[in-house]
């Protein structure tokens, strides 16, 4: 058996032949020690062929295909021209760095048998170390320049064409919203403590923190009230009775006098808290808009804030769609789960979905049941949002109705609508545009839309997978027999 190794570099593809494959496989330690010596390396491994990339764009296209486990036309041509055909007595094998790439090469080039094992990885490590010496055309520094340029291009391409770029905006928005909530609460409490030296009675009259900051900014000094203070307070509080309480308490206030400089600082700080609250409202609107575009059904079911937290915790909408309902149910309660498994206690019933109003409305005995049901619906909604081509909120609205019916069932015993009937009802109500079909054109009978999956493709893939598994089992048996 002759082993050939495919090496992908920033400058091109290289094909290497291992002359003494059996010795390399038997003596891993001796081979690793001889890696640093180019003389010993050249006796064990020789270069068979090399194909340089024509341009930086060609290099980027080839490396993108390699990273995704696909065979580029350049790679296919290179292997067809340079890889020797196997003989009856001596069979050839091609060592690759990734199993996915090896499977793609076997599909594209039927006569090539690809392998990946520890020996191949050791050979690739040796080639990577001495690659610049095996290519005579390369000058000093050329390989480093090619690697640097390709690395920048590859990273730029990955960032630019990131499929989760819309999900990243949701992740950052919900993180910013959480931080704003903490900061505003902290700063509002600081305003309360600071202004209470001057007007302590206001803290008992006005309970809301943001409203307190607005009232303090309007009143400022209680000894020198403006003429339009009553109108401005009524505009903020929207309650004439509350305004009267605030103004009447000023007359009998026992707060201390403060200097104009201190008052200016208090007013500036109050204004900053008010502006942060206004900015928080803008972020909430922005988050709601992003959720409408990315996950409309999840938003319609559980709300934009809770839906955004689920996406953020999962990492992306695609990851959330891949999770089973049981994982979605306890998402965010990982510490409690592992603590319960370690101490053999009761596992948590819910995680982030506890913030939903449905669980709060359920009775104590039904909280776990409704959380499990709600997680199931969230999983369905996230998969619809992730894999559908057109956005619609009809599925999310119907799923929300199902959760409402389930709550009624727990209270009254009235049987809810089945999931099959509910989904059929939504599908019947969808317009051609919402189904992803072109308006004015009917789908041909027996044809399938872009969202449908062909059963023939599925059967072909499963058959290929079975053949691959059989091959792997045979190879394992042969290796065991050789070792014995």
Domains, the chain, in order of start with CATH, read: 2-159 (3.30.420.220), 168-286 (1.10.287.4070), 295-431 (1.10.246.90)
Cβ within 8 Å of residue 75, ≥6 positions away: 13, 62, 65, 66, 105
What is the rounded distance in angstroms from the CA atom of residue 324 to the CA atom of residue 22? 46
Give the count of beta carbons closer than 10 Å to the beta carbon of residue 55.
8
Give the CA count within 13 Å in the CB-facing half-sphere of 348.
18
247 burial via Cβ count (<10 Å: 0-12, 13-18, 19+): middle
* 3-state DSSP assignment of residue 316: coil
- What is the pLDDT, as a whole number, of residue 455? 37
* pLDDT for 212: 93
The CA distance from 220 to 267, in Å, is 7
Residue burial 381-402, b: 16+ Cβ < 10 Å; e: rest: bbbbbbebeeebbbbbebbbeb
What pLDDT score does 371 carry? Answer: 93
Let me know: does 272 contact 218? Beta carbons within 8 Å.
no
Paired tokens of 167 = 């999900």
Question: Judging by beta carbons within 10 Å of its beta carbon (0-12, 13-18, 19+), is residue 173 exposed, middle or buried?
Answer: buried
In Å, how far from its chain's centre is CA 467?
33
Give the length of the chain. Answer: 484
User: In which element (H, E) is residue 48 found?
Assistant: strand 45-52
What is the per-residue pLDDT for 26? 46
* Residue 236 CB-half CA count within 13 A: 22
| Alpha-carbon span 36 to 31, nearest angstrom | 10
How far out from the chain centre does Cα 469 lie? 31
Q: Which of the residues in the chain have pLDDT under 70?
A: 20-35, 88-90, 159-164, 436-467, 480, 482-484
Phi-psi region of 238 (alpha: psi -120 to 50; beta: other; left: phi over 0): left
pLDDT of residue 397: 92
Strand partners, 73: none
State residue 399's pLDDT score: 93
Note the pLDDT tens digit of each residue in 134-145. Answer: 877 777 777 888
């Amino acid at each position: 058996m002759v082993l050939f190794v495919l090496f992908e570099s920033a400058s091109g593809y290289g094909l290497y032949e291992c002359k003494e494959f059996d010795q390399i496989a038997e003596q891993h330690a001796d081979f690793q020690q001889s890696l640093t010596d180019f003389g010993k390396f050249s006796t064990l491994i020789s270069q068979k062929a090399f194909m340089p990339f024509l341009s930086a764009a060609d290099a980027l296209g080839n490396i993108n295909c390699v990273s995704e486990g696909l065979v580029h036309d350049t790679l296919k041509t290179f292997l067809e021209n340079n890889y020797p055909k196997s003989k009856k007595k001596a069979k050839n094998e091609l060592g690759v760095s990734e199993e996915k790439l090896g499977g793609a090469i076997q599909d594209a080039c039927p006569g090539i048998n690809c392998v990946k094992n520890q020996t191949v990885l050791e050979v690739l490590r040796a080639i990577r170390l001495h690659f610049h010496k095996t290519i005579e055309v390369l000058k000093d520094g050329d390989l480093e320049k090619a690697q640097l340029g390709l690395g920048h291009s590859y990273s730029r391409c990955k960032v630019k064409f990131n499929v989760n770029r819309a999900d990243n905006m949701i992740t950052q928005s919900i993180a910013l919203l959480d931080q704003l909530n903490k900061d505003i609460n902290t700063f509002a409490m600081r305003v309360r403590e600071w202004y209470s030296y001057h007007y302590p009675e206001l803290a008992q009259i006005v309970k809301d923190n943001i409203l307190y900051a607005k009232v303090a900014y309007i009143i400022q000094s209680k000894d020198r009230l403006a003429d339009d203070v009553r109108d401005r307070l009524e505009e903020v509080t929207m309650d004439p009775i509350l305004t009267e309480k605030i103004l009447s308490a000023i007359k009998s206030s026992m707060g201390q006098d403060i200097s104009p400089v201190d008052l200016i600082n208090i007013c500036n700080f109050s204004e900053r808290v008010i502006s942060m609250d206004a900015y928080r409202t803008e972020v909430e609107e922005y988050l709601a808009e992003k959720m409408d575009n990315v996950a409309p059904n999840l938003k319609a079911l559980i709300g934009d804030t809770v839906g955004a937290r689920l996406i953020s915790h999962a990492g992306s909408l695609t990851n959330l769609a891949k999770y089973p309902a049981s994982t979605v149910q306890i998402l965010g309660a990982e510490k409690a789960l592992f603590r319960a498994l370690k101490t053999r206690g009761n596992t948590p019933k819910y995680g982030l979905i506890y913030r939903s109003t449905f669980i709060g409305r359920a009775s104590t005995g039904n909280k776990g049941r409704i959380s499990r049901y709600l997680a199931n619906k969230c999983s369905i909604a996230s998969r619809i949002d992730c894999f559908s081509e057109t956005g619609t909120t009809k599925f999310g609205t119907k799923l929300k109705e199902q959760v409402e019916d389930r709550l009624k069932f727990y209270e009254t015993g009235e049987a809810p609508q089945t999931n099959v009937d509910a989904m059929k009802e939504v599908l019947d109500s969808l317009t051609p545009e919402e189904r992803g079909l072109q308006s004015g054109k009917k789908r041909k009978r027996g044809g399938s839309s872009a969202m449908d999956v062909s059963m023939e493709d599925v059967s072909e893939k499963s058959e290929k997978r079975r053949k691959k598994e059989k091959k792997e089992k045979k190879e394992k048996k042969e290796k065991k027999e050789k070792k014995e």
